[in-house]
Structure 1
């Protein structure tokens, strides 16, 4: 299937990096479902020669980059593996974008919005979110520091669409990378409203953004915020009526993690203006995650 632009059929070939990752795998399945011509890249991002070989072989018109290091089981891994984190998140991403620019290829880069934290100008509960023009103010974790660094550098490239993903959620409630799955397995959770990304709704939009050749930085979250407790209340209502959980404070959380975590609200008005059908975070959770689960369970 070609993308139609200015009334003409235009060849589209998408090259995806991050095949073994969660988002990379989902992107491949989406392209299959939509009939979009795609392939997976095989090079490690920091290997410029192999990247060039990938691009020469695939001849893509767009690259979707979902590769990078987040750490297993969580971002605390990055604190003790700093060189590996730099190589993947900074050197690798910059090399990919640079190689693509020389070939006139647009890169949709799946980045993170975990580079901000609530402050005096963006207070918790105020409804004032960080915009695409705001500079990162959270470098509490080494992971976030590398992501903030590369975002600022990528602003100098004209072939990049940076998508700030936050606390990604999907309808696959068994996936350990799913934010909902994570917090249902924690002994205790903090209860703070945050911007989040429902992948079932937003990943198809990312492919459309490539089609439209959109560039620049985008807050890639559903509008509004939702708290941990609100999600767990939905989980209890739609998935497991017997589910219970306990809360603890940020100070108590700090005793069981290595690096601080980001909490923030991102202003999604730019994305909403481009895609007016975009649902608020709570509406999206219900439509794409919890209501389908309950429907499938009841019909089983």
Structure 2
């Protein structure tokens, strides 16, 4: 089938979105991209949403499929849900040509959910810079955009929170100051993001704050503090996490289990074994997975995990 013929079928909501058909959108050449760009706005909005979401699923199932050209077109869609999903479609994309489009969405998109998604997506470039895989000039663009968002008091809390979480892995001094300011905020969503950012920062200075928050009355705070301690992977946190293994909130309990798996070591593994026979199936599964992670960290070549 000719590409233009397939696009006509794609526009018809009554036509099934088959895998074979959608694969025609793989690795488009320049001419096909322009044909697709012209046809895309003529497709009904709900259908466009279905297409982008289905492409994301296919790309996750097969690393050989490349729908990046479609996602780039969809970033400029008039429908906010399509734009959000298009950003998510770049979940493993690391080329610098995505930085500009994401920054434009962050700074100019009228929908806060799109701005928040763009802010979150920019976090990969912060990590790439920390690993030495992104040039300073490109990182500075990302840093400036995220910093402006974080410091914009008129911006939605969710957008500022996502921006903080994304920049948290950077070693810039101002980032640690921003995390502290967010933690001291009166906005609950921003406080939660600060705890998340503490974990991503890999800075041991936040250990006292996080261990203290394990006793917070708010289960969401306990949950985020536990996960952040897991990210820091400091074994001094193990004894503090022990109390959460009896937390009345299931998600908090599971977060503590996951954190112990990330931290590893004899004490953490002993605690995980103590809950491996819990009456809750979800708790048993979480403990088994965490114990496997701890074992793997000690012996990556091992193919047998203790359960």
TM bin, normalised by shorter chain, reads: 0.3 to 0.5
Q: Which has the larger share of strand? A: 1
Q: Which has the larger radius of gyration?
A: 2
Q: Which has the larger share of helix? A: 2
Q: Report the TM-score, using the length of structure 2 for normalisation.
A: 0.32
Q: Identify which of structures 1 and 2 has the higher relative contact order when contacts are C-alpha pairs closer than 8 Å and 6+ apart.
A: 1
Q: Report the TM-score, using the length of structure 1 for normalisation.
A: 0.33
